[in-house]
Amino acid sequence: MMSQIPVGVVWGARKSDWSAATNNGDRWAFFARDAANSPTIIVVSGTHAACVRTPKMARVEAVLFVADLALSAKRVAQLATLADVGEAKQLIEQLNVAYDIDDSAFRVERVASGFRLLTKPVYAFWLGKLHQRQAELKLTPPALETLAIVAYRQPITRADIEMIRRVQCTDMLKHLMERGLVRIAGEDDSLGRPFLYETTRQFLEVFGLRGLDALPMAESLRKPKATLAVSPEPEDADSEQSGSAA
């Protein structure tokens, strides 16, 4: 059965292979090309037209599959050898249509300032056991509480965080910075010029957020935009916009 075939196995273009693979269960979502110069990738008879991957779609899929971080549309276009950003976004939309029709476990989502190929939430429990992601990403309740305060009230000083939590937060902030979820954004204009803290682009990627406005109840809980000058977060040259911008 197809569920026993590991990802990475390369199938030939013989139609008998495809017939045997699809007789007893789900369709295999990746298809083989009939010839080196073929404009499309052949599929089993009866497959929905939207599930037919062109070579360009396959390249985009491969690029997103191996990427460790979210890729901007510009970067996807460069790596997959596409015409421009518009074509990259169009192909990503086509991939998502194919995934939905085929009941795939995957979906391309916009996170931070780019795109990532992610598994659907329904599979999180099993994938967490396989990759021990729960242990890697788990934060203690105090750390989560501190992170939530920073996310909703940023940019914010340590003193303001401690005033809300009513406990000392130096170690929590250090821990969150080590995890790449919080960074120093600049200095406050108040006496002593304390550091201001804000979330990072990695925070958006880890929690699958397109931006801070995607936080639950963002309108009622978010702090009004500050007029203070803060230092910009370093970003890739190909990023379309800052992932931590409000």
Q: Mind giving me the DSSP string for 104-173? A: -SEEEEEETTEEEEEE-GGGHHHHHHHHTHHHHH---HHHHHHHHHHHHH-SEEHHHHHHHHSS--HHHH
Amino acid at 132: Q
Q: Is 32 helix (H, G, I), strand (E, B) or coil?
A: coil
CATH of domain 2-130: 1.10.10.10
Q: Where are the beta strands (DSSP E) in the chain?
A: 106-111, 114-119, 156-157, 182-187, 195-199
pLDDT digits (tens, 9 = 90+) for 54-99: 889 999 999 999 988 889 999 999 999 999 999 999 999 999 998 9
pTM, full prediction: 0.48
pLDDT digits (tens, 9 = 90+) for 142-182: 999 999 999 999 999 999 999 999 999 999 999 999 988 99
The answer regarding whether domain 139-221 maps to CATH 1.10.10.10 reads yes
Instruction: Tell me which of 60-64, 118-122, 125-129 is least confident.
Output: 125-129
**Domain coordinates of the chain in residue numbers?**
2-130, 139-221
